[in-house]
Structure 1
Amino acid sequence: MYKFFLLDADMTLFDFDRAEKFAWFETMKIYSTTPPDDAMFDFYHDLNEGLWKKFERGETTKDLLVLERHRRVFRKYGVDADPAVFNECYLDKLGDGSFPLPGALDFAKAVREIADRRGGGIYIITNGVERIQTRRLRESVFAPLADEIFVSETAGYPKPDMRYFDYVFSRIDGFDPNQAVIVGDSLTSDIQGGNNAGVFAIWYNPEKKPNETKAVPDFEAADYDEIIGFIEEH
């Protein structure tokens, strides 16, 4: 019976795409003489996503990532700004972007009820910058439902690194990996992380994307109701 629920944050509970776009446009309006448009944002978004995947694979550092993503955009579009200063402003605005996905709050409440009934807990596991992720989560509607929030920057390693999960597991009283479930939208961080850690991994895949990775979901769900139904039976 599962009672420890490890829930990914962005694009599992939060609409990170919306938060990212809001923060990027608001910051660009301050630092760019060229009015930002969707083409510029799409370039940034794809670049940022690629760099985070490199970080997950251990091919770059977070300190390099957070500046390089802006540096490349500035170079392409002729923006005269300091990447470090820009990034600080961007992160502050990103911290304001706590937008729950439709249905996510009801889902989290249902998981909370199951966890309480079984004597377990809910833990939010997320890659990202500590001060931003913690602020977004602590000020969100999910904060009262979670027992703890574990951010990769504090752990010292990102999902799917086993050392990240060692950090998380060691901080959950009575934790048993055989009674735990990871729920996340990312194959490369959440599901691969579950595979690495020996924890049952549920792939939240509302867009029904094909799996073109080596990660192996133990269960795939297109909506929150499927996840709740599975958990209730197990």
Structure 2
Amino acid sequence: MNLKRNTFKHLFFDLDHTLWDFERCSEETLEELYDIHRVDLLSKGSASKDHFIAAFRKINAELWSHYNESRITKETIRDRRFPMMFELLNIPAAVCPANLGKEYLERCPKKPYLIPDTIEALEHLQNKYYLHILTNGFADVQSTKMRYSNIFHYFNSVVTSECTGHKKPSKEIFEFAMKQAGAAADQSAMIGDNLNTDIVGANNAGMFSVYYNPDAVEHNEYVGAEIISLKELIELF
């Protein structure tokens, strides 16, 4: 797609799954926690490391979906995901190590892994645009992720759902982010991996939407542009 590049001044990015490699960072953290608590886990059930990780992914995805729909709170995610995961593994939730959730939050945001081509894309784009983060993630961990992965300095602003009282895809959070950045909608593009929270939200706010779809998942949603690699942003913008 041949964009009129001079019309854009501000690029807004989702963080998890778009720039910060949540799956890799989370998996490495879960492997570490499994090894730390291996004796307890195997004495209470038959959870292998693969089952442990798969159960977390399932429960965490479900809880985040509910959070994005404003059905649960931040505290519910943090307090319930490991007990729920144990229940899914047929291990009594009561034997879940008390500090497992805290240990996960202490380790995972400090993992430095990024989606391939993140740095190359940001290095190129920072010379032409104001770059911003717009995320439903929690403020206390998102800044940690960005600092430990060494991308914090690329961004002019970071807006989270907590600081606005609204979550993507709500139009209000996009308007808040643009107002804070001093950006007009027709000068702004949103890049993200979630069709609903990132793309539908950006479309409704009048922003140009770029869908990062590395698995080339078929869909019927309108997108301004679609990419399978962040390197494509260099050509797109």
- Give the TM-score normalised by the residue count of structure 2: 0.85
The reply on whether 1:153 has 2:168 as its aligned counterpart is no
Does 1:210 find its partner at 2:222?
no
Larger Rg: 2
Secondary structure of 2:163's partner? helix
Equivalent residue letter for 2:224:
D
Is 1:21 aligned to residue 35 of structure 2?
A: no
Identity of aligned residues (%): 24
Alpha carbons 1:134, 1:151 under 8 Å: kept: no
Structure 2 unmatched ranges of 5 or more: 1-6, 43-47
Ranges of 4+ aligned residues in structure 1 off by more than 6 Å:
none
5+ unaligned residues in a row in structure 1: which ranges?
A: 116-120
Following the alignment from structure 2 to structure 1, what is the Cα–Cα distance between the partners of residues 19 and 88?
Answer: 33
Contact persistence 1:123–1:149 (CA under 8 A): yes
For the residues of structure 1 that align with 2:186 and 2:70, how far apart are their CA atoms? 27
Match of 1:118 in 2: none
**Greater displacement, 37-46 / 159-168:** 159-168
Amino acid aligned to 1:129: F
Could you list the per-position Cα deviations for residues 48-89 of structure 1 after superposition, in whole angstroms to 9, with x for gaps in the alignment? 112212221222222212222211112233261356x32121
Aligned to 2:145: 136
The residue that corresponds to 2:58 in the other structure is 46
Give aligned pairs, total: 222
Residue of structure 2 equivalent to 1:34: 41
Question: What is the Cα deviation at residue 29 of structure 1?
Answer: 3.5
Instruction: Provide closer, same or farther for how the CA distance between residues 23 and 153 of structure 1 changes in structure 2, counting only shifts above 3 A.
Output: farther
Deviation at 1:166, TM superposition (A): 2.9
Aligned counterpart, 2:4: none
Compute the displacement of 1:225 (Å): 3.6
After superposition, the CA RMSD in angstroms is: 2.0
Contact 1:23 1:91 in 2 (8 A): no
* Alignment map for 1:153-172 (pairs within 5 Å): 153-172=162-181
Tell me the secondary structure at the aligned position of residue 150 of structure 2.
coil
Provide, for residues 138-179 of structure 1, a one-character-per-residue CA deviation record: whole Å limited to 9, x for no partner: 23221221112222233333221223223322311x311110
- Give TM-score scaled by structure 1 length: 0.86
Identify the match of residue 16 of structure 2 among 10, 24, 31.
10
CA displacement at 1:227 relative to structure 2: 2.5
2:73 to 51, 54, 61: 61
Asked if residue 230 in structure 1 is aligned to residue 236 in structure 2, the reply is yes
The aligned residue for residue 188 of structure 2 is: 180
> 1:196-231 CA deviation, whole Å, 9 max, x = no partner?
22211000112111126xx42111112234332222
Return the offset for 1:31. 4.3
Aligned counterpart, 2:85: 73
The question of 1:190 aligning with 2:198 is answered yes
Task: Write the distance in 1 (CA, Å) between the matches of 2:96 and 2:58.
Answer: 21
Q: Distance in 1 between matches of 2:165 and 2:16?
A: 19
Residue aligned with 1:224, SS: coil
Output the amino acid matched with 2:96: A
Q: Which amino acid aligns with 1:204?
A: Y
1:114 and 2:109 correspond = no
